[in-house]
Amino acid sequence: MTVLFIILGILMIMGGFSCMFTPLLTFMQTGYFVVILVLAYGIVGIIKSIVDKRFGINFVFSILSVILGIVMLAFPKSLIFAESVMLIISAIWFVMMGIVTIVNAVSVVKPTGSGLWILMLILGIIAILIGCYSFFQPMIMAVSLGVLIGMFFVETGFTLMFAGIVARD
5-34 confidence digits (pLDDT tens): 888 889 889 988 888 888 777 777 766 766
Could you report the per-residue pLDDT of 55-94, keeping only the tens digit for each?
888 889 899 888 887 877 776 665 566 677 777 877 888 8
* Distance separating alpha carbons of residues 100 and 116, to the nearest angstrom: 15
pTM, two decimal places: 0.50
Please determine, for residue 145, whether its predicted confidence score (pLDDT) is greater than 80.
no
Confidence (pLDDT) at 76: 65
